[in-house]
Amino acid sequence: MTKEELQPPEGWVDGMVPTMNGTGFMFERIDAYAEEFIEYSGGIDDEVLDMGCAYGVATISALQAGARVRACDLDERHIEILESRVPKELRANLTCQQAQLPDVDLPADHFGAIFCSRVFHFLSGDDIDASTRNMFRWMRPGGKLYIVADTPYGIWRNFIPTWEANYDRGERWPGWMEPAMDYLPYGPSGKGKHPPFMNLQDPDLLARTCTEAGFNVQRATFIARPDFGEKGRMDGRENCGVLAIKPA
């Protein structure tokens, strides 16, 4: 990529940077799960994994905290932009890899922590389960897993009646939306590609997925995103997160 091309697309919402493939965003605001991952990663000797790193907001902060980071993303352009942003003195602690869940080969019993933010809601249920089982295999005993995902209570709130009906019926993946864009409270912004489906989560679903994969769940909560804007329409449940530990 040329220097001019080595830039992410221009966003239309402050703090939300569109991906190069047009299927999501990188949030520049660090949430509590990301903060904890960054702090923990900087204090351990093991390499850590940022899966779905986008342009590297968590990766770069973890490097600055003293971590050794493997940053993975499905789009090689994101990785190129990330590498261009890492200070020269930190590059020796960064490994980048093009990868897509769940079909990526990473070393077993290797990582001291894994961070996977805003990826799971782009995966099918089977791929979420397979990805979490893979993360369990990649993690060292005692390692910590941090996952963040979208819920129906943020920009996807038009889906809430369907979500609730799906939950009442006992569907395993009540957050399956297809086509996803039909549930936005406004028309899709920007041009180009949009995700054909979304698989929204909540704390209970994330906890179930991690438990079934073998992790011990330490915390699963909603995450408030006041940076989404639209005052009066957000209620503090816009994202969800989980912290889980691989038994020693």
Q: What is the pLDDT of residues 160-190, one digit of tens each?
A: 999 999 999 999 999 999 988 888 776 555 4
CA 237 to chain centre: 16
Does any domain span residue 220?
yes
Residue 9 has pLDDT above 60, yes or no: no
Does any domain span residue 81?
yes
pTM beyond 0.85: yes
Residue 232 has pLDDT above 60, yes or no: no
Does any domain span residue 194?
no
Per-residue model confidence (pLDDT) at position 26: 52
Domain of 224: which CATH number? 3.40.50.150
Q: Give mean pLDDT, residues 184-210.
A: 81
Does any domain span residue 159?
no
The residues, ordered by sequence, that sit 6+ positions from 171 with a Cβ below 8 Å of its Cβ are none
Residue 5 has pLDDT above 80, yes or no: no
Does any domain span residue 6?
no
Per-residue model confidence (pLDDT) at position 29: 77
Does any domain span residue 186?
no
Residue 35 has pLDDT above 90, yes or no: yes
Per-residue model confidence (pLDDT) at position 12: 46
pLDDT tens digits, 101-116: 999 999 999 999 999 9
Does any domain span residue 41?
yes
Per-residue model confidence (pLDDT) at position 200: 98
Per-residue model confidence (pLDDT) at position 93: 98
Q: Which residue has the higher pLDDT, 78 or 41?
A: 41
Domain that holds residue 95: 16-152+199-245
Residue 219 has pLDDT above 70, yes or no: yes
pLDDT tens digits, 113-149: 999 999 999 999 999 999 999 999 999 999 999 999 9
Domains identified in the chain, total number: 1
User: Taking all residues of the chain, what is their mean pLDDT, rounded to a whole number?
Assistant: 88
Does any domain span residue 28?
yes
